[in-house]
Amino acid sequence: MTMPASPVTSTNHAKIGQSTPRPTRLAALLVAFVAILSAVLPVPVLVPFLLAGGIAGCVLMDLLVAHRGVPSLDRTRLQTLSLLVGVPFRAKVGELGQARAVRIRQPVPPELLVEPPWAGGNELKGELTGRHRGIQVLPPVTVRAVGPLGLGSLDHSVGTSQEVTVFPDLPRARRLAAARRRGRSSDEGRIRARLGLGTEFETIRDYSQDDDIRQVNWIATARVGRPMSNHYRVEENRDLMCVVDTGRLMASPAGRVSRLDVALNAVAVLAVAAEEAGDRVGAVAFDSKVTRQLAPRRRGAEAVVRALFDLEPTEVESNYERAFHAVGRQKRALVVVFTDLVDDGAARTLIAATPVLVRRHAVLVASCTDPDLTTVTSRSPHDMRDVMRAAVAIDLLASRQRVVHLLRALGAVVVEAPPQALGPACVGVYLRLKQRARL
């Protein structure tokens, strides 16, 4: 799977955009000084006008010199970013002839963030962060050039616009996959045993305290005089379908991002894990209709992420039945439904459509918990308003648990986790289902 492209520094001759001429503070101070001097001292009336005219002429000369400077731009060229992951960013303009650069600024749309947004001189060093998925445009750099006398300045738009693609957090998905290969969870910081028995016999080895008692090979144990275990290999070439809800409920915030952002980050983590396990990965996105569909394929994690990275939540109700029918026609797979379990009323259609899937597939319903509700119910109330908030939060959480119990009664596995932990939690359940031959 291709990682997001590393920063590449590109040097190009600037395209100068529209300039905004203005006098500097020094010119304004000189004019004020002349005005005060003419009011205090008995000087002829013509003298202040001549001095003001001289200052104006110097300002025009500075503006002319600053306008003639055509700088080159050396700016970090970023083709891809990961959502909410900052990367080093640098922008520097070249010589401006006799003029000098006193300030450089990188304008950004709301979907991107540069910290700091501006710097003194001709060089800006900071961090660029993608705040929203999709293809975003990084505008030209703005440089303020001042003439040699320091009396006139121009703002130049230097360079051209660049397109930056913001993906879900793929580097984190790769780090988690590498941690699993080493047998260590980067989230928990300790060795984790793989659960389950697997389905295909591979070898006999010494018994480990993490082994299931059913793995013990009693004949080999009696022969060698120490506990021995059968080691089973989990079957590969299974299908994993990630079904992503993009209806109105997925637009609600979960921390700094939306629930859809959380779901797509979890899809990236799960798709990379499935690819590492040798399974085929596919995806379906839906709201009131199926909007994206990608059949399961080998080494399909990158294809899944690229197919879903620019999804946006809509304002319509989600049609689970239509989406599940699109998935249900395929051969048996693990179908992971990323949605929001708000309450039993909103999830009524999900509950009604789930039997369509569980008759043929292993079904996992993944939803992130609401950090705001957890915070409200865990802190001590200070006034009646806090008590009322806590009562509403407790009612919502109880309703959510009713939905979870109904889904589990229908045969689905439900995963609930905080936003940052949803992906690893889904991977853990996925591996357990594989090793227990549920797929």
Query: Quick one: 126 and 229 in the same domain?
Result: no
- Which CATH number covers residue 42? 2.60.40.10
What's the pLDDT band for 63 if we cut at 50, 70, 90?
confident
Query: Quick one: 140 and 122 in the same domain?
Result: yes
Predicted pLDDT of residue 199: 53
pLDDT at 302 over 80: yes
Query: Quick one: 426 and 382 in the same domain?
Result: yes
Residues 6+ apart with CB under 8 A from 439: 235, 238, 239, 332, 333, 334, 362, 433
Q: Which residue has the higher pLDDT, 67 or 200?
A: 67
Q: Which residue has the higher pLDDT, 431 or 182?
A: 431
Predicted pLDDT of residue 8: 44
pLDDT at 16 over 60: no
Query: Quick one: 297 and 155 in the same domain?
Result: no
Query: Quick one: 349 and 265 in the same domain?
Result: yes
Query: Quick one: 12 and 126 in the same domain?
Result: yes
CA separation for the pair 361, 323 (Å, rounded): 14
How many domains are there within the chain? 3
Q: Mean pLDDT check: name the lowest of 35-44, 229-238, 277-286.
A: 229-238
Query: Quick one: 99 and 62 in the same domain?
Result: yes
Predicted pLDDT of residue 17: 52
2 belongs to a structural domain? no
pLDDT tens for each residue of 78-93: 888 988 889 999 999 8
pLDDT at 186 over 50: no
417 belongs to a structural domain? yes
351-372 burial, b at 16+ Cβ within 10 Å, e below that, comes to: bebbebbbeebbbbbbbbbbee
Query: Quick one: 186 and 282 in the same domain?
Result: yes
Coil, strand or helix: which one is 30?
Answer: helix
336 belongs to a structural domain? yes
State the average pLDDT over residues 309-332: 89
3 belongs to a structural domain? no
Query: Quick one: 332 and 242 in the same domain?
Result: yes
Predicted pLDDT of residue 233: 60
State the average pLDDT over residues 389-415: 90
**Residue-averaged pLDDT of the chain:** 83
Residue 101 amino acid letter: A
pLDDT tens for each residue of 250-266: 998 888 889 999 999 99
Q: What Å distances lie between residue 413 and 197, 308, 373, CA to CA?
A: 19, 24, 23
Give the structural domain span for 364. 170-192+235-435
Predicted pLDDT of residue 438: 63
Query: Quick one: 187 and 214 in the same domain?
Result: no
